[in-house]
Amino acid sequence: MQKSLAMKAAAAVMLGSLALAGCTTTSDKPDSAAASASKRQSIDASVNATLSRLYSTVPGSRDLVSKARGVLVFPNVLQAGFIVGAQSGNGALRVGGSTVGYYNTSSLSVGLQAGAQSKAVVFLFMTQDALDSFRKSEGWSAGADASVAVVKVGANGAVDTNTATAPVEVLVLTNAGLMGDLSVNGTKVTKLHI
């Protein structure tokens, strides 16, 4: 009973912290130039590390990413909850290998869940229309503003580029590798002004 109560309390604290973190990262107040530069540099370093990890652990991923018109990488999406869950993280959009903008992702979920985990989420805009639509939007929602397909991994552990035909594809990377059975519908993405 004590252990259950402690887990509930810990989950509530994590959820509250996540909610507060999400609020602070989307503030309308302009950051100082130095703070903004530091945030951009930190996000870019994390994006580089995430892409390197993806390429080294998932065969075929580099080829698929190279075919994308734009790559939106969220290196550290923290998910926490107890019955009601939330996830949030910052990332960068790269076009032609260069960062062209910084973004926040967030979503809420309801259902049986407890604890916290971190994952990397990589959206691949496979068509110019999908990329242009994303960049023109003030706020973008997976599933509502664009159909998003989870990239399938073949029996050999490699990305199946033959089935990656949607305008927007997504890869979700955990410490254990790619997640294949999930939905990103309802995930919100907003531009950061840093």
Task: Write the pLDDT tens digit of every residue in 117-126.
Answer: 778 889 999 9
Token code pair at residue 26: 């989307």
What local confidence, expressed as pLDDT, does residue 93 receive? 97
Which residue ranges make up each domain of the chain?
Answer: 2-26+33-191
Task: Output the pLDDT for position 169.
Answer: 87
For residue 35, CA distances in Å to 32, 41, 42, 78, 126 come to: 5, 10, 11, 22, 33
- The whole-number pLDDT of residue 106 equals 84
Q: In the numeric block, which tokens belong to residue 110? A: 């309801």
Task: List all residues 6 or more positions away from 129 whose beta carbon is below 8 Å from its beta carbon.
Answer: 167
> Which portions of the chain are predicted below pLDDT 70?
1-31, 81-85, 108-116, 140-158, 160-164, 176-186
pLDDT value for 118? 79
| 120: alpha, beta or left? (left if phi > 0; alpha if psi -120 to 50) | beta
Tokens for 111, please give them: 């259902």
What does DSSP assign to residue 30?
A: P
**Residue 2: CB partners within 8 Å, gap ≥ 6?**
none
Q: In a 3-state reduction of DSSP, which class is residue 38?
A: helix
Using DSSP bridges, classify how beta strands 177-179 and 168-174 pair: parallel, antiparallel or unpaired.
Answer: antiparallel
Q: What is the pLDDT of residue 77?
A: 85
HSE, CB side, 13 Å, CA atoms: give it for residue 39. 21
What is the Cα–Cα distance from 72 to 102, expressed in whole angstroms? Answer: 9
| pTM (two decimals) | 0.73
3-state SS assignment for residue 114: strand
SS (H, E, C) 161-178: CCCCCCCEEEEEEECCEE
Which pLDDT score is estimated for 184?
59
Residue 180 CA neighbour count, 13 Å, CB half: 11
